[in-house]
Amino acid sequence: MQKLHHNFGVKIPAIPDLSSLQSLIREHRAVVIEHAQFDEIADFQNWLNQVGNVSAGGNSTHADPAQAYGKQYDRAIKVVQHDPGLPNGGMYYLDTQGTGYWHQDGVNYNRGHECYTALYSVTTPAAGGDTCVSDLVSAWNDLSDAYKNMLRPLKTVNGNRAFRIWNEAYFKRYPERFANELAAFEKQRPLVTVDDHGRESLNISPKNVIGIAGMHIEESNGIVEFLCRHVSRLEYQYRHHWQPNQVFFFSDESMIHYAVRDYYDLPRELWSCKIDLSDK
């Protein structure tokens, strides 16, 4: 078993028994399995259903929604690249495709301490296409006690992704999904959380955070800007360079992630699911 980072994560050579895997995920919050083999995305989802409770795969804009919500794998997503250039609607490169911002998935949904992302690599580029995670527990631990005391009672106000990545073509094709995101535009979340192991963590999504609840924007800007810089420091990061047939689990609450879009027209396909270990 190999460490991914001094403070979190392990890499293991093969799929262990379920109880061992669940314990590793809970303890280390990030787990890479080196040699896994799934022929169909439904097989991957069925296996994950034994590990935890599989929920919606997310809303990755790398995925073709027709595939992502098909009958065969309605809770898994194929993460693939479509157009590497400027999308319809003329949005800036850094505002599109889930890249350009460190983020947590599903800020407008109530995900708990036991919710994790599971990714499986099907096709990987010869170079690029890494997935990065940054550890919010480590970022929290490095703050001063005085600053921690100030942050503990605060809540962030978060905007969903509708105004950042939706364009006219997607709006026309998926009006109901757009309306659902729009209806949940502002979501308040605790800025600091404690998991079942007693680990305190920041709980902030730099891509989505608008401000601090109850504060004027001028008051909250300094806090938000500092924390967004702080949690994305290199010291807290692990960068995973994909090889085919790997599985990568990481915590949705105590980590933020970043999909590096530097592979342009090279082929890359991942399968993505969300799992919840709370009753396992």
Can you give the CATH number for the domain in which 223 is found? 3.60.130.10
* Domain of 197, in residue numbers: 2-276
Domain count, the chain: 1
Distance CA 195, CA 9 (A): 16
| d(C-alpha 15, C-alpha 145), whole Å | 40
Cα gap 280→277, rounded to integer Å: 5
Using a cut of 0.85, tell me whether the model's pTM lies above it: no
Per-residue pLDDT of the chain in tens (280 residues, 90 and over written 9)? 999 999 999 999 999 999 999 999 999 999 999 999 999 999 999 999 999 998 754 443 333 433 333 333 456 777 876 544 444 343 344 444 444 578 888 776 666 778 999 999 999 999 998 999 999 999 999 999 999 999 999 999 987 654 445 566 666 777 776 676 666 667 899 999 999 889 999 999 998 888 999 999 899 999 999 999 999 999 999 999 999 999 999 999 999 999 887 887 788 899 999 999 987 6
Q: How many angstroms separate the Cα of 118 from the Cα of each of 93, 109, 178, 202?
A: 26, 18, 25, 21
What lies within 8 Å, CB to CB, of 39 at 6+ separation is none
Query: Could you tell me which of 44, 45, 35 has the C-alpha nearest to residue 14?
Result: 35
